[in-house]
Amino acid sequence: MAPLTVEIWSDVVCPWCYVGKRRFEKALAGFEHRDDVEVVWRSFELDPNAPAEREHSGAEHLAAKYGMSVEQAERTNAQMTELAASEGLEYHLDRTRGGNSFDAHRLIQLAKDQGVQDEMKERLMRAYFTEGSPIGDAETLVKLALDVGIDPTPLKDDGYADAVRADEELAARIGIRGVPYFVLGRRYGVSGAQPSELLLEALEKAWDAA
């Protein structure tokens, strides 16, 4: 039987996407046919018009985006940090340096061709949420690429930009408006960072359908 392909649309600056990654990994670990599942990370930008690096703090940006006070945003971030910790993730949202994620997505596309896409996705998210690295900074991305053994040279001259846009156009056709979003075997879609038990059920259903 052909492997079951699971496509996951997410953004490296999305806190729920990192939680969703961990929950999916837990679901996959408990899936009987996990060795026959191919995971493909698809590109999705929450804010395509973001500057390379934001001038404001994460809490200030969150407050402006959702019309809340900075204090409310800080409480929201604290709750998100606690939830992430329950999944084994270390968030420092007060130190995140938000910015445009397009080049990070190009790097993930390059990593797919190199067979280390999941490792690259993980390294980028840890750099952003745990280490406070500026995700839109070219030098930072070069360092992170080297961390997982990738030569980032192919990214020059907008390399892999078309692959990023193709993923985003496909998301639009499917109707994906928020991330994370899981598409299993092009048959089933799961929206949001659902509990691992639900993701495991989705894996089993997609496998049986295939």
pLDDT in tens, 3-54: 999 999 999 999 999 999 999 999 999 999 999 999 999 999 999 999 988 8
Range(s) of the domain holding residue 176: 4-54+97-209
- The answer to the question of residue 66 being in a domain is no
14-28: b (≥16 Cβ within 10 Å) or e: bbbbbbbbbbbbbbb
Assess contact for 37 and 113: CB atoms under 8 A.
Answer: no
- The answer to the question of residue 79 being in a domain is no
- The answer to the question of residue 202 being in a domain is yes
CATH of the domain at 23: 3.40.30.10
Q: What is the mean pLDDT of residues 147-168?
A: 96
- The answer to the question of residue 168 being in a domain is yes
Q: What is the mean pLDDT of residues 173-183?
A: 97
How many independent structural domains does the chain possess? 1
Residue 1 has pLDDT above 60, yes or no: no
What is the pLDDT at residue 159?
96
Lookup result for tokens 């080297």: 146
pTM above 0.85, yes or no: yes
Pairwise CA distance, residues 25 & 14, whole Å: 17
- The answer to the question of residue 163 being in a domain is yes
What is the pLDDT at residue 56?
79
Longest dimension (CA), the chain: 53
DSSP string over the chain: -PPEEEEEEE-TT-HHHHHHHHHHHHHHHT-TTGGGEEEEEEE--S-TT--SS-SS-HHHHHHHHHT--HHHHHHHHHHHHHHHHHTT----TTT-B----HHHHHHHHHHHHHT-HHHHHHHHHHHHHTT--BTT-HHHHHHHHHHTT---GGGGGGTTHHHHHHHHHHHHHHT--SSSEEEETTTEEEESS--HHHHHHHHHHHHHH-
- The answer to the question of residue 91 being in a domain is no
pLDDT tens digits along 58-105? 888 888 888 999 999 999 999 999 999 999 999 999 999 889 999 999
- The answer to the question of residue 169 being in a domain is yes
What is the pLDDT at residue 2?
64
pLDDT tens digits along 111-122? 999 999 999 999
- The answer to the question of residue 123 being in a domain is yes
Amino acid at 110: L
